[in-house]
Structure 1
Amino acid sequence: MILSLKQIQKSYGIDTILENISFHIEEREKAAIVGVNGAGKTTLFRILTGETSADGGQVYLKKETSVGYMAQNQQIEGNRTIYEEMLSVFEDILTAESQLREMENEMGRLSGQALSDKMEEYAALQHFFEQNDGYGYKSHMKGVLKGLGFSEEEFDKPLSQLSGGQKTRVYLGRLLLSRPDLLLLDEPTNHLDIASIQWLEDFLKTYAGSVLIISHDRYFLDRIVTKVIEIENRKSTVYNGNYTNYMSQKAVNREVQQKAYDMQQREIRRQEEVIRTLKAFNREKSIKRAESREKALEKMERIDRPDALPDQMRLTLTPQITSGSNVLHAEALSKSYGGQTIFRHVNFDVKRGEKVAIIGPNGVGKSTLFKMVLGEVSNDTGMIRFGTNVHVGYYDQEQQKLDERKTIFDEISDTYPNLTAGQIRNVLAAFVFTGDDVFKPISALSGGEKGRVSLAKIMLSKANLLMLDEPTNHLDMFSKEILEDALNRYEGTVVYISHDRYFINKTAEKILELSPDGVTQYAGNYDYYLEKKAEQERKALEQAKDNPVPTAPQTISDTKSDWLKQKEQQAAERKLAAKIARVEKAIEEAEAAMAKADEDMAAVGTDYAKAQEIYEEKQKIEAQLETLYEEWESLQ
């Protein structure tokens, strides 16, 4: 066991944030802390790091355990470049490397016992250097940077020129390379695209230390964690398994607890009735029996009533105006900025009623494509055509236009004065604003609640094509589930950008993968997309050609073009796999030669000429090894 918490309590003034938090984390265990926004998850992390003190309870951390913590939107400052900042993690290795070079030069001037002593010292330092990945740290550093979405051209970019999201990614990369025994990650997938999130998943799954994660990314949690700690109403409950298992177990536990509570309440009412009857007899014996039952009732351990879940209205939301069958047609779109092409050859069609997700790496132009469709950005080439009776509603989580002075109901009724109170309440109910909740002021709402109000406004408009840019950003898990249900029941057309794979899996019927050279369509949800990707990779290993003809990804329009594209991709991937295998073999041979040189140098004793010869050969091998590492990284 590396970490244990027992009955942690925390209050701010009269507000109790945490009341009874107890759980433990084993070595190498990957666990998640979940709960609605404001449940106290980040407060708990601050207690674990010592940034905030608990009011009560105990925190046990295994002796000499190193802890690494990344807060949300973690910033990193300084005058160093990205590469220099990452390199700072390896100061011990850099110092050892410098000392080894100095000792090698010094040994050239020594002889006799002095040389023998120095060579022993050199061998010990060399062992430390090798044990701490002295020959591979640069390769690993580049791998982490690339995995987190940085290109080699950005390595020399100063930190002062980075955006907040880029600085957070640099901080995360530095933290991962430092490899603490316990990693505390607060929303680590913020600012990462899908490819980077997948890389982070693979990294954390094989991470040698323990990991505790706060995240609203349900797909991410499903792939990594084996334990979920839920904070609800200031208390913690531990569930074994991933996020999906947690949701299933929670539903079962809630049902069992509700039945046990109901049974106990019936028994309490029965006992109370018996006590009243006995007292009514007004005899000494019956009164004593009544008092005995009262004492037993007082000692009864009461079962807590499970927290009531908000009622989710299962309403089908129908646009006021029905569009034509062909909603949106895009053909041969391209866009460049400052002479640099963002994307080209973009072709796709959207039909009425479809739920379409647009995915792709950060910087590929997804938001630019959205703005083209909305008419906010001009296209360099190609055309965009809407079908008949298409009315667009646009949602951007970062640009909600809500009046903080109004109530939820007033916000809707003032925007749509012709709607009846019943119509407004029906749509708000779909987003779980019922009863007096509709009269809450906007200023008192959480970010997720404001997002739900904004979506309700769009769905009450004449819009029958919803354009949603990262609609799940800043939503808690409950709000995401509400949005998923609303979109699945919406009879209009939806096109959205998202990196939330769980959300895509639940709502998308078609995926458009945007790349610099076009769009590839996948007629299914995210699991279908992954299945097709894996199928392409399998075929690439089995059927690739030696001389592939590179082609730009384009919309799959018929069986023949799909077949040709798969063949070309398979050939390219087969050739790449063969190159990687050759380079990996060369790296193994070079590393073996390096180890042999170290053994030979330790064995030559006072033969300076031989030591010098081995040293010069070793330098050549080291240079060759560095080149091979760089080639391997490039191929990866």
Structure 2
Amino acid sequence: MSVIQVTNLTFAYEGSYDNIFDDVSFQIDTDWRLGFTGRNGRGKTTFLNLLLGKYEYSGSISATVQFEYFPFQVENKENNTIDVIGDMHPDYVHWELMRELSLLRVSEDVLYRPFASLSNGEQTKVMLAALFLKENSFLLIDEPTNHLDMHARKIVSDYLKTKNGFILVSHDRSFLDNCVDHILSINKTNIEIQQGNFSDWWENKQRQDSYELAENDKLKKDISRLSEAAKRTSHWSHEVEKTKNGTRNSGSKVDKGYVGHKAAKMMKRSKSIEQRQHSAIEEKSKLLKNIESAENLKITQLTYHKSRLAELDHVSIYYGDKTACRDVSFTIDQGERIALAGQNGSGKSSVLKLMCGEALNYTGTFRIGSQLKISYVSQDTSHLHGNLTDYARISGIDESLFKSILRKLDFARVQFEKDISSFSGGQKKKVLIAKSLCEQVHLHIWDEPLNFIDVISRMQIEELLLDYSPTILFVEHDKEFCENVATKTVEL
């Protein structure tokens, strides 16, 4: 066991006035299975790159272990997998590799196939197996779940549960809960480490948020009450002071010493109240800094004139002589939120493309409502560029609603002026989701919308969909999201 010590770390990208990290200090035990969480753009991947020594920074990072980054950059994917493993870890022992692959349920034959021919899941498993074989290494695992189906996620999560010594960036709650024992979270104003899994951390955060909101409310009332009391006391002391130069109603002379003493006493009381008020304001200023909140949104979906929007009856889809899926049957009725499930390669994306009107070869019966308006969110974000104002105008959506949704999903106002092409992967996906929610349609179709999106935003999207109750057909491998959102699941 050893320690990774981070001391007074400060970092900003060249040309930027905003620090990603500002004088942060903490330490990590190299035996921990550490889940790394935080909103998109807060600096998770940046921190991993700082550990790898890719950027200059002020402060210090000290460690007695070597850092290994996942995913490994494979230079030539046409090489056989066994040669790619040799590039990752030249000194690996073959029987140890076979043991790791067996734990990950990867067959030996993948070693003698081109790496490019492996599925995303197989590539992920092979990389993890090779990297964990390295001695005295601490793995920096950056979003391994993207494009993995639920089955593969469970296998990889169970595998990581048997290991020690890694930081895992993942936005899948079930995945994190199963395999980590500490959480490192980048909050709005600080970085903190807690023992436990993601659900433990989230429960503690909600408890802390509730306490701070209650304290904030109490202090607001105290400040208001003290302000009124200070005004009244100050007013009374001035009135008493004025009587020093007058006479009593009875005509007798005023005792100026008594009146002055009384006025001074009242002024002292006023100062005491003012001091308590300043203390309450100072205490209040320490609260709510890490609460992730945003305004509620009003979104409406078009109502279709029939309850049934679409129907597939024993549909099989083909690409040339290859079958994408076979005998798919389900209906979409207004108000349903349907999760399309199945392992990678089972034809989920093909079904979505057929629904969106793409000309595919198919057999069976496919009916879709005439003049049905559909909003589609694809997996691909490479086409996004320009600023958000222009994007909203070109897309024909309400700019203020579009930006309100993005604000709810933790976009800072400064992002509104930047080019979308400079956004992180998660921020780009949020742009596509926000656009889709602004479109006046009868049906939303989303293909793996949550890839790269941070876990708190996922929960906010869940909340939005449950409040908004749109008709939606989606493919998503986040188990908890599907269980919380879907009213029906169709397994391919």
- With normalisation by structure 2, the TM-score equals 0.75
Q: Which amino acid aligns with 2:111?
A: F
The 5 Å alignment of 1:216-365 reads: 216-233=171-188, 235-260=190-215, 304-307=286-289, 309-315=292-298, 317-337=299-319, 339-365=321-347
Q: Shift in Å at residue 236 of structure 1?
A: 0.8
Q: Distance in 1 between matches of 2:470 and 2:282?
A: 52
Q: 1:29 to 1:11 in 2, by over 3 A?
A: closer
Secondary structure at the counterpart of residue 362 of structure 1: coil
Q: Say which of 366, 372, 383 aligns to 2:354.
A: 372
Q: Distance in 2 between matches of 1:186 and 1:493?
A: 33
Q: Name the CA distance, whole Å, in 2 between partners of 1:377 and 1:433.
A: 37
Matched, 1:22 2:25: yes
Residue by residue, what CA displacement relative to the aligned partner does 1:294-343 show, whole Å, maximum 9, x if unpaired?
8xx89x9966232254423153x432232522222112222344534333
Give the conservation status (yes or no) of the 8 Å contact 2:33–2:181. yes
Match of 1:85 in 2: 84
Match of 2:144 in 1: 188
SS for the counterpart of 1:306 is coil
Amino acid at match of 1:467: I
1:87 is displaced (CA, Å) by 5.8
- CA–CA distance in structure 1, aligned partners of residues 121 and 359 of structure 2: 24
2:474 maps to 1:496:
yes
Query: 1:37 deviation in Å?
Result: 1.8
Q: Is the 8 A contact 1:77 1:159 kept in 2?
A: no
Contact 1:372 1:379 in 2 (8 A): no
| 1:352-407 C-alpha deviation (Å, 9 max, x unpaired) | 21111112222222212222222324234212112466332211142487662451
C-alpha change, 1:9 and 1:24, in structure 2 (3 Å) is: closer
1:235 CA displacement = 1.8
Q: 1:223 to 1:160 in 2, by over 3 A?
A: closer
Distance in 2 (alpha carbons) for counterparts of 1:6 and 1:142: 34
Counterparts of 1:480 and 1:224, CA distance in 2:
20
Aligned mates of 1:456, 1:253 — CA distance in 2: 29
Tell me the SS of whatever aligns to 1:16: coil
TM superposition shift of 1:253:
1.5
Change (3 A) 1:390 1:288: closer
- 1:440 deviates by 3.3
CA drift of 1:226 comes to 2.5
**Distance (Å, rounded) in 2 between the aligned partners of 1:176 and 1:192:** 19
* Code of the aligned partner of 1:178: K
Letter in 1 for 2:33: K
* Aligned residue number for residue 140 of structure 1: 99
Figure out how many residues of one structure are paired with residues of the other and give that number.
Answer: 453
Q: What does residue 466 of structure 1 align with?
A: 444
2:367 aligns to what?
385
- Could you tell me which residue of structure 2 aligns to residue 8 of structure 1? 8
Conserved in 2, the CA contact under 8 Å of 1:34 and 1:41?
yes
> Would the alpha carbon gap of residues 488 and 258 (structure 1) be closer, same or farther in structure 2, given more than 3 Å must change?
closer
Give the structure 2 partner of residue 174 of structure 1: 130
SS at match of 1:404: coil
1:201 aligned to 157, 163, 171, which one? 157
| Whole-Å separation in 2 of the counterparts to 1:384 and 1:223 | 40
> In 2, are the aligned partners of 1:469 and 1:497 still within 8 Å (CA)?
yes
Tell whether the 8 Å contact from 1:328 to 1:351 is kept in structure 2 after alignment. Answer: yes
Relative to structure 1, the CA distance from residue 206 to residue 415 in structure 2 (aligned partners, 3 Å threshold; closer, same or farther) is closer
Structure-1 separation of matches of 2:371 and 2:181: 49
2:170 counterpart residue number:
215
2:343 is matched by which residue type in structure 1?
P
- Who is 1:454 aligned against? 432
Aligned counterparts of 2:438 and 2:468: Cα–Cα separation in 1: 11
Q: Structure 1 length normalisation: TM-score?
A: 0.60
Instruction: Pick closer, same or farther for the CA change 1:512–1:357 going to 2, 3 Å.
Output: same
Aligned residues of 1:222 and 1:242 also touching (Cα < 8 A)? yes
Give the Cα–Cα distance (whole angstroms) in 2 for the partners of residues 165 and 211 of structure 1: 19
Which protein has the bigger helix share?
1
The one-letter code of the counterpart of 2:445 is M
The code of the aligned residue for 1:359 comes to: A
Residues of 2 paired with 1:456 and 1:43: CA distance? 25
Question: Could you say what the CA RMSD is over the residues aligned between the two structures, in angstroms?
Answer: 4.4
Contact kept, 8 Å, 1:331 with 1:348, in 2: the verdict is yes
Structure 2 vs 1, CA of residues 144 and 496 (structure 1 numbering), >3 Å: closer, same or farther?
same
Assess if the C-alpha contact under 8 Å between 2:10 and 2:24 holds in 1: no
Give the match's secondary structure for 2:128. Answer: helix
* Partner residue in 2 for 1:485: 463
Counterpart contact for 1:5–1:21, Cα < 8 Å = no
Return the offset for 1:437. Answer: 5.6
- Kept in 1, the 8 Å contact 2:183–2:194? The answer is yes
Q: Aligned partner of 1:486: which letter?
A: L
Q: Aligned partners of 1:310, 1:463: CA distance in 2, in Å?
A: 28
Distance 1:165 1:139 in 2: 17
In the other structure, the counterpart of 2:419 is 443
Contact 2:92–2:133, Cα closer than 8 Å, also in 1: no
Alpha-carbon shift at residue 141 of structure 1 (Å): 4.8
Aligned with 1:480: secondary structure? helix
How far off its partner does 1:171 sit?
Answer: 3.0
Distance between the aligned counterparts of 2:82 and 2:367, measured in 1? 45
Aligned equivalents of 2:43, 2:365: Cα separation in 1: 49
Give the match for residue 39 of structure 2. 36
The match for 1:115 is none
| Structure whose CA Rg is larger | 1
Q: Structure 1: how far apart are the matches of 2:225 and 2:437?
A: 47
Q: Is the 8 A contact 1:431 1:456 kept in 2?
A: yes
Distance verdict in 2 for CA 1:456–1:26, change over 3 Å: closer
Question: For the structure 1 residues 185 and 67, does the alpha-carbon distance in structure 2 shift closer, same or farther, using more than 3 Å as the test?
Answer: same
Note the residue ranges of structure 1 that are not aligned, 5 or more in a row: 95-133, 515-636
Q: CA deviation at 1:488?
A: 1.9
Task: Give 1:508 deviation, angstroms.
Answer: 1.1
- What displacement does 1:205 show? 0.8
Unaligned runs of 5+ in 2: 242-259
The separation in 1 between residues aligned to 2:414 and 2:9, in whole angstroms, is: 33
Specify the SS of the correspondent of 1:503. Answer: helix
Contact kept, 8 Å, 1:358 with 1:495, in 2: the verdict is yes
The CA distance in 2 between the partners of 1:180 and 1:248, in whole Å, is: 34
Distance 1:37 1:436 in 2: 11
Cα pair distance change 1:468/1:152, threshold 3 Å: farther
